[in-house]
Homo-oligomer: A and B are copies of this chain.
Amino acid sequence: MNELASILKTHNLKVTPQRLAIYSILLNTKEHPSAEAIYQSLSLDHPNISLATVYKTLDTFKINNLVQELNVGEGNFRYDANILDHTHAFCNSCRKVIDIDESISPEITKQLCNDSGFKVTSSKVYLFGTCKDCQ
């Protein structure tokens, strides 16, 4: 059996072609796609999938901590199969979201935690500016 299927089973989720397809897209892209963008990607190999299913599946994945939801202020959400806290940089020019793999965010959360009495379970760090290609 395929590896994705066993990950889904680990979370007590039924294995369906739709779920495999959506999870596979997220694992194989660096684009941080929106629900709509995922739906577009699916139109090739799974033309009869429903947008509602994409939303429901993403919600299920989010609840089961298989994906994280991002919001860089565009008016919709984006999804990332990398669930570890890491920094996302949004280019105001090309509107791409880039992963910044630095382990600084987790560190600062701990520091902030100490001072404020707020018990931190996760964090999101967004940088805004211009990416290398657009400069």
Contact = CB atoms under 8 A, between A and B. Distances in A.
Nearest to A116: B100
A121 B111 contact: no
Contact of A132 (B71, B100, B118, B128): B118
A77 B74 CA distance: 10
Contacts of A122: 127-129
A4 interface: no
Nearest to A102: B112
Copies of this chain assembled into the complex = 2
Interface residues of A, number: 37
Interface in A111-135: 111-113, 115-132, 135
Given A71-B71, A108-B104, A123 B120 contact: no
A69 interface: yes
Contacts of A116: 89, 98, 100, 132
A113 B100 CA distance: 9
Given A104-B108, A124-B128, A126-B126, 17 more contacts: A69-B73, A89-B116, A91-B118, A92-B121, A98-B116, A98-B118, A102-B112, A104-B111, A112-B127, A113-B127, A118-B127, A119-B131, A121-B128, A122-B127, A124-B125, A124-B126, A125-B125
